[in-house]
Amino acid sequence: MIPSAQTRRDQGSTELLVGSNAWLVTLTPSAYGSVVKVQQSSSDDGGVPEPELRFDIARCTT
């Protein structure tokens, strides 16, 4: 499970702020499933390692 995630919905998309604003994950519905966009913040504190985040996202989208 992804720790300390905050959720915000905006115009059909869902945004997840993960860690202490270290990662922004945007989920947008499409005709083929969901579009997943992941951005790392310049203020990343290393609280959520990238491999762990990738695994959690992949597990949720399959």
What is the pTM for the complete model shown? 0.71
Domains of the chain: total: 1
Q: Characterise 12 by phi-psi region: left (phi > 0), alpha (psi -120 to 50), beta (else).
A: left
User: What residues make up the domain containing 13?
Assistant: 5-61
- Segment 42-55, tens digit of pLDDT: 776 677 778 887 88
- Whether 17 shows a pLDDT value over 80: the answer reads yes
Q: What is the mean pLDDT of residues 9-20?
A: 86
- Whether 16 shows a pLDDT value over 60: the answer reads yes
| End-to-end CA separation in angstroms for the chain | 15
Averaged pLDDT score across all residues of the chain: 81
What proportion of the chain, given as a percentage, has pLDDT over 90? 10
